[in-house]
Amino acid sequence: MAPSPRIPAPRWLLAGLLVSPLGGGFGTPPPAQASVMRPVLELIRPQVEQRISSLCLEKAAAGQAGLRQQLEQPCRQLARTTSRCLVDETEASGKTLEVVGELLRQQLGPEGERIAKRCLARLVGLPPNSLEAIPLRQITGAFVGRQR
C-alpha cells in the first residue's frame, strides 16, 4: 500500500508505527504498553537533539563566530542531556501518543509543555513539578534575558 500523497513518507511510516502496536491508536496506552513507544521516541530524539543544539548555539553565541566554536561541544552536551530527559519524561508520563502527535503536528501542546517544564526543572535541580504553574514562554524568556 502506497503512502497518502498528502503525508510525506517518513510521517506516514511513523504514523503506521504509532497505530499498529496500539490496536488502532486511540486513547492513552495502558502502562504495560508504554515501553512499546520508546523506539518511536528514540527515533525522534536525534532530530530534537539537533534542534536544541542549534538553538543553544544561536542564542548563546549571538552571531559571534569565535564564541560559537567554543560553545559547540557544551551545546551538544546540553542537547543530548535534554533530549534524553524529554524521552524519559515522555515515557514516564504515560502520554507518549499525545506527545508524539504534537511533534508530528510540529506543535508544542499541553502534554509537551508539561514535559518540557519537568525536564527544565530536573536539569536545573528543582523538584519536577515546581515550574508547572508558570507559562513556558515566561520561563524561556527569563532564561534568554527577555520577559514576554
Cβ pair 56, 143 in contact under 8 A: no
Q: CB neighbours (10 Å) of residue 110?
A: 11
- Residue 107 region by backbone torsions, left for phi larger than 0, else alpha for psi between -120 and 50, else beta: beta
Q: What pLDDT does 125 receive? A: 92
Cβ pair 36, 21 in contact under 8 A: yes
Q: What pLDDT does 88 receive? A: 92
Would you say residue 6 has pLDDT above 70?
Answer: no
Would you say residue 40 has pLDDT above 50?
Answer: yes
Would you say residue 130 has pLDDT above 60?
Answer: yes
pTM value is 0.66
**Cα–Cα distance measured from residue 24 to residue 65, given in angstroms and rounded to the nearest whole number:** 49
Q: Classify residue 61 by its DSSP letter.
A: H
pLDDT in tens, 45-93: 898 899 888 988 988 888 898 999 999 999 999 899 989 999 999 998 8
Q: What pLDDT does 11 receive? A: 41
Would you say residue 123 has pLDDT above 60?
Answer: yes
Q: What pLDDT does 60 receive? A: 87
**Cα–Cα distance measured from residue 21 to residue 9, given in angstroms and rounded to the nearest whole number:** 19
Q: What pLDDT does 145 receive? A: 56
Q: What pLDDT does 137 receive? A: 81
Name the average pLDDT for the chain.
Answer: 75
Q: Three-class SS of residue 17?
A: helix
Q: What pLDDT does 55 receive? A: 87
**Cα–Cα distance measured from residue 20 to residue 97, given in angstroms and rounded to the nearest whole number:** 12
